[in-house]
Amino acid sequence: MSHASDAAAHHTGRRVIEEHRRTAELTEVVLDDGRVVMVKHADSPGALQAEAAGLRWLAAADTVAVPEVHGHDAEWLVTDRVPEGRATAQSAARFGRDLAALHATGAPAFGAPPPGGPADAFIGRAPMRNITGGQWPQWYAEHRVLPYVRLAVDAGTLRADEAATIEKVLDRLPGLAGPAEPPARLHGDLWNGNVLWGPDGDAWLIDPAAHGGHRESDLAMLDLFGAPHLERILDGYQEAAPLADGWRDRVPLHQLFPLLVHTVLFGRGYADQAVAAARSQLTR
């Protein structure tokens, strides 16, 4: 058995029957009581601490389903496995309503980390600092957009003139952001791959970059990379918690953050998308 099996046994208190390596970081482990858990490896202890805290914070809202965290240490995180299924139009609408309920449970401030989560967290493989702020436009500019603009410019994947275009948007952000809203409890990395669908069609959330933020940011991330029955998800959300007028026009504004993160991680193609998103806001 591998170190992943050792971690599963340690954090569940059960004997391991077999294991199946899924990726370089993820191993599926079968326990002696028939349960199956996922064991995740990371080199950064802060990444696993942040993910575990985020999963527990989302689960505490008792809205969207989240796999149970059995434990974590400096190298390993052990959670329940989500059984495989597929989305339906009905379950997508239900997910939209449940996501609205999750957001409504709130956060102490914009940028607030989950209880027990570190300020120095991650979104995917990129560092993400959870520093709190009182007003969303200023906080979003300072702690979500500008750090990645600087990293991308330093790496040569974003030109200085393109960075200037994004900074023009940030200068106008208070007038572009729409009505003020209270901090929402965000998943924070809500692309399609982090929403799993169980056998009954119910949605499950995994791999969060959870923090206090603007609820439109989670929805913009779903839109950015697509999701099954996306319009039904949005219909369900609007039924439970209508969004402020003009929210569709603000989608690219909220996508600036993940697009810049992807620019830092994956290069030039995402830089073009980030600049296009910024230009769309300058013409509003």
The verdict on whether 189 is a catalytic residue reads: yes
- The CA-atom distances, in angstroms, between 119 and each of 46, 106, 111, 113, 211 are 9, 18, 9, 6, 10
pLDDT at 115: 97
pLDDT band at 211 (very low <50, low <70, confident <90, very high): very high
| Helix (H) and strand (E) counts in the chain | 11, 11
pLDDT band at 208 (very low <50, low <70, confident <90, very high): very high
pLDDT at 58: 98
In DSSP terms, 45 is beta-bridged to none
Structure tokens at 89: 């139009």
pLDDT band at 136 (very low <50, low <70, confident <90, very high): very high
User: Secondary structure of the chain: what % helix, strand, coil (to 5)?
Assistant: 50, 20, 35
Structure tokens at 278: 């910024």
**39 DSSP 8-state letter:** E
Superfamily classification of domain 3-80: Phosphorylase Kinase; domain 1 (3.30.200.20)
Q: Given 98, 189, 207, 223, which residue is catalytic? A: 189
pLDDT at 24: 85
| Rounded CA separation 64/38 (Å) | 19
pLDDT band at 284 (very low <50, low <70, confident <90, very high): confident
pLDDT at 1: 54
What would the DSSP string read from start to end of 166-206?
HHHHHHTHHHHS-S--PPEEE-S---GGGEEE-TTS-EEE-
Give the domain ranges of the chain.
Answer: 3-80, 101-192+206-233+244-282
pTM of the model: 0.95
Spatial neighbors of 223 by CB under 8 A, at least 6 apart, are: 230, 251, 255
Return the CATH architecture of domain 101-192+206-233+244-282: Up-down Bundle (1.20)
